Amino acid sequence: MAGALTRQGHALSPRTVGRLLNEAGYSLQSNRKTKEGSAHPDRDAQFLHISRTVMAFQQSGQPVISVDTKKKELVGTFKNGGREWRPKGEPEEVKVHDFLDPELGKAIPYGVYDVTTNQGWVSVGIDHDTARFAVEAIRRWWHKMGVERYRNARKLLITADGGGSNGSRCRLWKVALQELAAQLGMAIHVCHFPPGTSKWNKIEHRMFCHITQNWRGRPLINHEVIIKLIANTTTTTGLKICAAIDRGSYPTGIAIPDDEFAAVNLKPSGFHGDWNYTISPERKRN
């Protein structure tokens, strides 16, 4: 602006232009994420459907979990957002550039949050965020935490985002859930949140946000430190989290043939069957 005004015969320095803009009520501001874009026409109806389904499961003593993948993290002496109390003038020293350390790799936290008991499980993967990785995290939650709490469970309700490794259109997600349903011997009900509403998924504001707050300003130097920081996350409302590393291999690009997908015993709900469905333990017989 100073250059343009100078070329027009008004010799002004950038400092003067900044002062005049401030006097006119302007200031330097960053973007603010407030616009969600156009909402799906059935958004509110789906929220109501999820709420009613969750309440029905809880009233009958059946487990309800909220699942999602937390932001992937570089492992090593990298900068971690936020500030932590340290002796004055002694900040934690970290690397200048955030380049992947080939030996330490990355951490992929996939969380399972028990909506009823305010308890959660986090599997920290080191390979890829795939549907099989997601379902393996749910399996681990069940054997480590769920089975003890829900000894008489007959069915399980999962609330999840509509995309990612647990996406509503992901065939591998449904095939892996079929395998899990057969192993657990119970029906698995799934409700997906509408597009663009992931922030309403309870795991985001009841578990993930507290993990982020707990490790703020601390470099995630190795996977063991990550596990400890996650497991030590607590709240005044009694949040309890267990965590473990998952060293399994989860290759990407797996295509599910039509005949294999057809064997999934999937029953769509009467309302938005693409978002709400049940997978029974027994596979379909061709």
Please check the confidence at residue 205 and state whether its pLDDT lies above 80. yes
What does each C-alpha distance from 203 to 54, 74, 114, 168, 235 come to in angstroms? 14, 22, 9, 18, 14
Q: How many CA atoms lie within 13 A of 157 on its CB side?
A: 24
Sign of CA dihedral 81, 100, 128, 221: negative
Using one digit for the tens of pLDDT, what is the confidence trace for 26-35?
888 877 655 5
Average pLDDT for the chain: 92
Domains of the chain: 41-83+92-279 (3.30.420.10)
**Higher-pLDDT residue of 136, 98:** 136
Q: What is the mean pLDDT of residues 200-208?
A: 95
* pLDDT of res. 35: 54
Strand 266-268 with 119-125, pairing: unpaired
pLDDT at 254: 95
pLDDT of 73: 93
Do 212 and 73 contact (CB within 8 A), yes or no?
no
